[in-house]
Amino acid sequence: MKKIKSIQFLTLGVITLTLLGTIGLIKNNDYKQTSAVDHYPVDVSTYYNGISGSGTSLLGQLQSLNKGMKRKNVGYSSMGTSPTGMFKYTDYDPNTVELDTNGQPYGTKILSFYSGKSTTGWNREHVWPDSRGGGSVDNDIFMPRPTISSENSNRGNSSYVTGMAHSANGWDPVKAFADNIGVYESIRGECARIIFYCAVANPSLKIKEGADMSYNNSIGDLISLLEWHVDNPINERERNRNNGGQYLQGNRNAFVDHPEYACKIWGNYNDETKKICGQSTTK
């Protein structure tokens, strides 16, 4: 009997360690780590059935798909500024993961958008700023991001432009924050794919070349955004966010699941975008 108990104890210990091992912990600021938690079933194998083509045709198909798949918007207030809000399902710190009654992961802390710092208090960054039309999609969980207030206030309503840290000429989180809060370059890719998503979620929102400070439901810089998208592949934080977003709303960010769509839609805009997308491994 003693031998059997020892074996049972050892087996339970192995199972426990195995279960713990399935939760790949992500280091703060290291978005390339994984967080492999079993989650509420998400089947994307048929989600994009029938989607094809390029340019405005492809964009229109994605707009129709997104509208049809979205059951609801989470709502700006429901996203919250603490772990009781719905960001716990989309922006969670994998070191704090728990499962709800459906087996869906959520966190008791979240990762601040730009720096990836783990926190229990934040405000909401409009990745597509209100003054540029972002208010039309701020109820959609895929656009606002939980962000420590000191990081949020730095950007203002700037377009995303490579190498810029001043709002009048555009803004780049890596340029603005690299020296003090250690932003990783991969955040550029996340910014780009959210902007692309917004152009799908609301057809009146347009992505243009340049800093484009005229507002009017537009934002730039298309060239910077395509470069950021191509140079910074999809990371695990985005995949977790996509699954959490679908769990809450029913729809997904197509550019996380199919990064090639960005170049198919905007890659022929001019010679510069053709060059960027011609070198892309996402085509």
| pLDDT tens, residue by residue, 50-71 | 999 999 999 999 999 999 999 9
Tens digit of each residue's pLDDT (9 = 90 or more) over 27-53? 333 333 333 344 556 778 899 999 999
Six token digits for residue 240 = 């977790």
Indicate the pTM of the whole model.
0.85
Backbone angles phi, psi at 101, to 5 degrees: -70, -15
35, 24 Cβ separation under 8 angstroms: yes
Q: What is the pLDDT of residue 35?
A: 36
**Amino acid at position 95, single letter:** N
> Taking a C-beta distance cutoff of 8 angstroms, is the pair 205, 128 a contact?
yes
CA distances from 176 to 59, 166, 173, 179, 213 (A): 32, 8, 5, 8, 19
For the cut 60, the answer to whether the pLDDT of residue 6 exceeds it is no
Q: Tens digit of pLDDT for each residue in 218-262?
A: 999 999 999 999 999 999 999 999 999 999 999 999 999 999 999
How far apart, in whole angstroms, are the C-alpha atoms of residue 212 and residue 267? 19
